[in-house]
């Protein structure tokens, strides 16, 4: 399932991408018309806190998930009540640009990561769209804990 988050949901977008969900993030320059057109054209589920935008999506019979909180855990719970994710897809997308990550050989990232990271890790992924390099650092434990909490909330 493909998703589209409006401009108010940047952190939620990042976490949906961490879960491996194809999540388009609307830029600040986009109008509501632009957002609805992308949702329609790309067959994406609109996720928004904007009541007027949700009403327009409803009127145009577009699928949507209305978010009614600013609490990230509650936002994730609201989305995951409608959308499932495959655990094997976790950490498979770039959190910045939504591109599917690819494995990269360690020696290739030597000059792209801090020396300490290069020495401590053997497995790396990269985004061929924006060039960002990923590894399972200390932030990975934080993500695992949050994902465990999400599974219990469902």
Closest to 17 in 3D by CA, of 87, 93, 118, 73:
93
Contact in structure between 135 and 91 (CB atoms under 8 Å): no
Token code pair at residue 33: 């018309």
- pTM of the entire predicted model: 0.91
Q: Residue ranges per domain, the chain? A: 2-89, 102-153
pLDDT recorded at residue 148: 80
Considering the domain 2-89 in this protein, what is its CATH number?
A: 3.40.50
Question: In angstroms, rounded to a whole number, what is the distance separating the alpha carbons of residues 12 and 34?
Answer: 20
34-72 tens-digit pLDDT: 999 999 999 999 999 999 999 999 999 999 999 999 999
Token code pair at residue 38: 């992308």
CA 19 from chain centre, in angstroms, equals 7
Q: Vertex 137, ends 151 and 8: CA angle to 5°?
A: 55
Around Cβ 116, how many Cβ atoms within 10 Å?
Answer: 8
């Amino acid at each position: 399932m493909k998703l589209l988050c409006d401009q108010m949901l940047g952190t939620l977008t990042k976490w949906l991408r961490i879960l491996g969900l194809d999540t388009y993030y609307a830029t600040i320059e986009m109008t509501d018309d632009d957002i609805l057109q992308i949702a329609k054209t790309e067959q994406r589920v609109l996720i928004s806190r904007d009541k007027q935008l949700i009403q327009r999506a409803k009127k145009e019979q577009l699928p949507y998930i209305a978010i009614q909180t600013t609490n990230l855990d509650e936002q994730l719970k609201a989305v995951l009540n409608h959308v499932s994710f495959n655990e094997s897809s976790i950490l498979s997308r770039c959190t910045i640009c939504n591109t599917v990550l690819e494995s990269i050989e360690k020696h290739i990232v030597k000059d792209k990561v801090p020396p300490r990271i290069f020495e401590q890790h053997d497995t790396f992924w990269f985004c061929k769209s924006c060039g960002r390099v990923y590894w399972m650092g200390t932030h990975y434990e934080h993500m695992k804990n949050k994902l465990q909490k999400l599974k219990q909330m469902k």
